[in-house]
Structure 1
Amino acid sequence: MNVVINGETKITNSTTLADLLKEQNYTGDTIATAINGVFVAKTDREQTLLTDNCSIEIVAPVQGG
């Protein structure tokens, strides 16, 4: 399926947001996620199903200064 992650089109076999995060190597508790502009809490990622061409925003803190 095609999804858009942070503005970039990607192909994935993941069916849930949690699986997609693992596939894309987003780990840890400090990321925020949204699908089609709607915030998805960490506790909901396992049950949040992806759809073809959905828009996913993943925000992670940046180290440094």
Structure 2
Amino acid sequence: MKITVNGAPHEIAAESLHDALNELGYAEARVATAVNENFVPSSLRADHRLEPGDRLEILAPMQGG
């Protein structure tokens, strides 16, 4: 399905947010996620179903001050 990831179009086979993160190379990364501008906690990613056209934002924490 076609979705947008961090502003760029992507074609993915995954249907859940958890599987999409694995497919996109974020399997072991500690990241924050939002779908269509709604935060999705890591505990709900396996149950969160993606739909064609969804907008996924993946944010990695930054260190510094």
Query: What's the TM-score, normalizing by structure 2?
Result: 0.89
Distance 1:44 1:11 in 2: 22
- Pairwise CA RMSD: 1.7
Unmatched runs of 5 consecutive residues or more in structure 2? none
Unmatched runs of 5 consecutive residues or more in structure 1? none
Aligned residue identity for 1:7: G
Deviations 1:35-57 (A, max 9, x none): 00000000000000000010000
Distance 2:56 2:9 in 1: 10
Alignment of 1:43-62 (within 5 A): 43-62=43-62
Q: CA deviation at 1:30?
A: 2.3
Q: CA deviation at 1:61?
A: 2.7
Aligned sequence identity (%): 34
Distance 1:32 1:38 in 2: 11
Name segments (4+ residues, structure 1) moved above 2 Å. Answer: 27-30, 61-64
Q: CA deviation at 1:29?
A: 5.7
SS of corresponding position for 1:26: coil
Which position in structure 1 is the counterpart of 2:15?
15
Moved more, 2-11 or 54-63: 54-63
